């Protein structure tokens, strides 16, 4: 079945199964001929993933995918901004992709930087975009929150991916319309650097 014949749920199920294969070491082999052929053809990727800059999250690899299988937008902390929203509108509205995933990860340096109040050049305004997640998780944990613990930082990472997916729907009425009509699915997930597994949030 081609990507265009699958519904968003089928595409999501396939992606999650492909990640499980990757995590257990059942990985696709690099096929240079296939890659070259796909590279020279028009593209019809099955999904678009917004992920962090982190070098330990090679998006195509963790979903066991090859050239032309996925659109990937990467920015530290997988935050939403106008240009990322525009890129997602291209993927969904122009190219016809039916699944958008905002993918955070454990031990995220950008999330940790936000929790630690790091200020540095243009990174400051990027980390500010993670603050709503930080504040929400601080409320969740209450007075005794240990904002430097791995557990707290990973929970902020989850919340941040969830809020970025919500932000996309607020920022793009065009994508929100497709989602409301059941034609497109927007989800958020977390990639665990240790288990190499993606879990869906919510």
Distance CA 120, CA 96 (A): 38
108 near Zn ion, judged by CB under 5 A? yes
* Least distance in angstroms from the C-beta of 5 to Zn ion: 34
Nearest to Zn ion of 48, 110 (CB atom): 110
Q: Which stretch binds Zn ion (CB under 5 A): 26-34, 100-108, 122-130, 174-182?
A: 100-108
Burial label for 1, CB within 10 Å (0-12, 13-18, 19+), is exposed
Number of shown-chain residues binding Zn ion (CB under 5 A):
4
Count of Cβ atoms closer than 10 Å to residue 148 Cβ:
10
54 near Zn ion, judged by CB under 5 A? yes
72 near Zn ion, judged by CB under 5 A? no
Nearest to Zn ion of 37, 53 (CB atom): 53
52 near Zn ion, judged by CB under 5 A? yes
Q: HEC states along 52-74?
A: CCCCCCCHHHHCCCCCCCEEEEE
| DSSP bridge partners of 5 | none
* Dihedral angle, C-alpha 100, 171, 89, 69, nearest 10 °: -20
CA atoms within 13 A on the CB side of 87: 16
Count of Cβ atoms closer than 10 Å to residue 83 Cβ:
10
* Least distance in angstroms from the C-beta of 104 to Zn ion: 7
158 near Zn ion, judged by CB under 5 A? no
133 near Zn ion, judged by CB under 5 A? no
* Least distance in angstroms from the C-beta of 161 to Zn ion: 10
Distance CA 135, CA 89 (A): 29
127 near Zn ion, judged by CB under 5 A? no
Q: Which stretch binds Zn ion (CB under 5 A): 22-30, 101-109, 121-129, 172-180?
A: 101-109
92 near Zn ion, judged by CB under 5 A? no
69 near Zn ion, judged by CB under 5 A? no
Binding site for Zn ion (CB under 5 A): 52, 54, 108, 110
């Amino acid at each position: 079945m081609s990507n265009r014949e699958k519904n968003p749920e089928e595409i999501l199920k396939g992606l999650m199964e492909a990640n499980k294969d990757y995590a257990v070491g059942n990985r696709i082999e690099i096929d240079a001929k296939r890659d070259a052929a796909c590279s020279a053809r028009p593209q019809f990727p099955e999904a678009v993933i917004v992920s962090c800059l982190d070098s330990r999250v090679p998006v195509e690899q963790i979903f066991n995918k090859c050239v032309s299988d996925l659109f990937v937008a990467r920015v530290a902390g997988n935050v939403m901004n106008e240009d990322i929203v525009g890129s997602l509108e291209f993927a969904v509205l122009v190219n016809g992709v039916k699944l958008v995933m905002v993918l955070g990860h454990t031990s995220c340096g950008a999330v940790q930087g936000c929790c630690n109040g790091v200020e540095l050049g243009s990174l400051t305004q990027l980390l500010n975009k993670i603050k709503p997640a930080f504040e929400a998780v601080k409320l969740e944990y209450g007075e005794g929150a240990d904002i430097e613990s791995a557990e707290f930082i990973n929970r902020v990472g989850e919340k941040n991916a969830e809020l970025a997916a919500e932000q996309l729907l607020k920022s793009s009425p065009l994508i929100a319309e497709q989602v409301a009509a059941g034609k497109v699915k927007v989800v958020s997930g977390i990639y665990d650097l240790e288990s190499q597994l993606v879990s869906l949030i919510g």
